[in-house]
Amino acid sequence: MKYLSLFLLLSCSTSTGLEALDKRTYVTGGFSALPNIGVTLGGGVVRDPGEESGDKTSLELLGTFQPWDDEIFSDDGNPAAGDWSQVQIGMRFTTPHPVGRRDSWRFGAVWARAKGSPNIVQTEGDYLGFYGGYGWDWELPSGWRFGPDLTLLLVAPEGKYTPRPVPQLAFRFMRWF
């Protein structure tokens, strides 16, 4: 049912004003940590980009896959955690900063799946919730940007309302088109 809901949300979005968005897009990817270690990939569409140096609002879709547990770096005696996968859909707001970087704030909805003996949430299963985060990035040559994000997920097991906070750290490269 959750996949059908996500599909309907994305397919119906064209009739709710998404066609008015400017075609300026970006892709992003990088390193992700917490609750496990892995990668993050995604992209976004900027709404009315205006001036190159101005504030920007974008709709973005991000996926994270973290198959590696911290046990590969240090054995703390706990069992190795299983895979952590998640999909986020939400808004990203960026503003220019005086020192040449751009500050960004993200918020939206998240679905996650924890397998094995998961870190932080402690229970295997599917989770639904919300996220909010802050980060910044610097301009690199040829339209690339790079920077960290710190995000807090507030997720609950599907069918229950017992929210659990899950912090996440990512270092992303972004390429604008």
Q: Quick one: DSSP state of residue 168?
A: E
- Residue 73's pLDDT band (boundaries 50, 70, 90)? low
Q: For the chain, give the percent of residues with pLDDT over 70.
A: 79
When divided into structural domains, the chain yields a total of 1
pLDDT of residue 47: 81
126 forms beta bridges with 113
The answer to whether 93 and 60 are in contact (CB under 8 A) is no
- Residue 173's pLDDT band (boundaries 50, 70, 90)? very high
Q: What tens digit of pLDDT does each residue of 138-154 get?
A: 988 777 899 999 999 99
- Which segment of 26-30, 68-72, 132-136 scores lowest on mean pLDDT? 68-72
The residue count of the chain comes to: 177
Q: What is the mean pLDDT of residues 27-49?
A: 91
Q: What is the CATH number of the domain that holds 73?
A: 2.40.160.20
Residue 3 pLDDT greater than 60, yes or no: no
pLDDT of residue 5: 43
Residue 78 pLDDT greater than 80, yes or no: no
Q: Which domain holds residue 9?
A: 2-176
**pTM confidence score:** 0.81
Q: Quick one: DSSP state of residue 73?
A: T
The answer to whether 145 and 10 are in contact (CB under 8 A) is no
Burial 21-59 (b: 16+ CB within 10 A, else e): beeeebebbbebbbbbbbebebbbbbbebeeeeeebebb
Residue among 143, 144, 139, 131 nearest 105 (CA): 131
CA–chain centroid gap for 8, Å, is 20
Q: What tens digit of pLDDT does each residue of 94-106 get?
A: 998 877 789 999 9
- Which segment of 66-80, 120-134, 147-161 scores lowest on mean pLDDT? 66-80
Give the list of residues 6+ apart from residue 3 with CB closer than 8 angstroms, or none. none
